[in-house]
Chain A
């Protein structure tokens, strides 16, 4: 029991990063982490020893996040206060823009990018967290990254998600 609690404690920094990247809202993110920890403690017998604790916690947190998002939309309390400020085109750093453009993705697209690009889960683990087939993870990931790329640079990936991978449909602006 105590081992499990220690293992949970060590995951807190990573859970906070994950939640922050999903929500872009520090207090909402910590609410999600708090609910996740409480739920993990209550349901600890559901956790399979030797499986990936982080992935299990990410699953719990993602579901809470989806529920919260639905509720927040219904109550229309989604905080739009820090609306994207005007950004000078061109010479602004990619990382400065990442937060802004990630906000423009759908919840599903943002989650797949965060789980794989930031949290470095395997496609199989991400499929379990998101509860979708692994093929869907791959196509969703490609679409999400293409969208990020467009938003960041207004230029499509040379390998466009829109085209057949082998067809070399290169759209150069």
Chain B
């Protein structure tokens, strides 16, 4: 003699919390009780509505500030871990094997720029959020989000045309980063990261290299720049000089 089927049973039924025998009893009851049946349907619809509302969050790119928390904890040899990171789409994981002790800020900036370059420059279908055919909108949007005017240098003389840009999360409370992407006729891509760097001392060009990619980075008049690419250091330096010359005006 089993207990009558109550409301709690119907919830537990929908949530998969009943053992097999109780579940069978509820199954039988649903056939004879239209009320119980419609309750079960309503509960299922609620759960489905929750999923259709929030599941998309799981497919969003993970903000770098979250990925960066775990980065220093990886062992130098954790290459396998690096693969997991990449699988997750975590750009910062690219540097899992470098294990830098608390890196000085400019180097961290260069790392982040390189990681973002690796992540997005290889992207075939969605390399940018806003394409260059809306350049005015792109520049206005990035300027608004950085709360400072952003300009897209013209690199056609160097063989690279503007593909578009996207916004990347900044560190902690810092304002976000603007990423501009350029592409050559042969498919080579460069990315230029622009960030606000008010009250930071200006620096000349510095360079960092990882796995064939290079980044030149510098701070000039309240902006930090990082130009990343896989086109060899000397060619990249040539482009970096042009960027610097155009943006310094």
Chain A residues in the interface with B (C-beta under 8 A):
1-2, 5-6, 8-10, 12-14, 16-17, 20-21, 30, 33-34, 37-38, 41, 94-95, 97-99, 113-114, 116-118, 120, 122-123, 138-139, 141-142, 145, 148-149, 152, 157-161, 164-166, 168, 170
Contacts and interface: CB of A to CB of B under 8 A. Distances in A.
B148 interface: no
A113 B45 CA distance: 13
Contact of A142 (B11, B16, B69, B81): B11
B49 interface: yes
B168 interface: no
Interface string B114-128: 000000000000000
Majority-rule SS of A interface residues: helix
Q: Which of A12, A34, A148, A168 has most B Cβ within 10 Å?
A: A12
Interface string B65-96: 11101100111001001001100101001000
Nearest to A170: B35
Contacts of A14: 58
A2 B74 contact: yes
Contact of A41 (B55, B66, B73): B73
A38 B69 contact: yes
A165 B12 contact: no
Given A5-B70, A145-B43, A166-B4, A113 B84 contact: no
A120 B17 CA distance: 10
B57 A33 contact: no
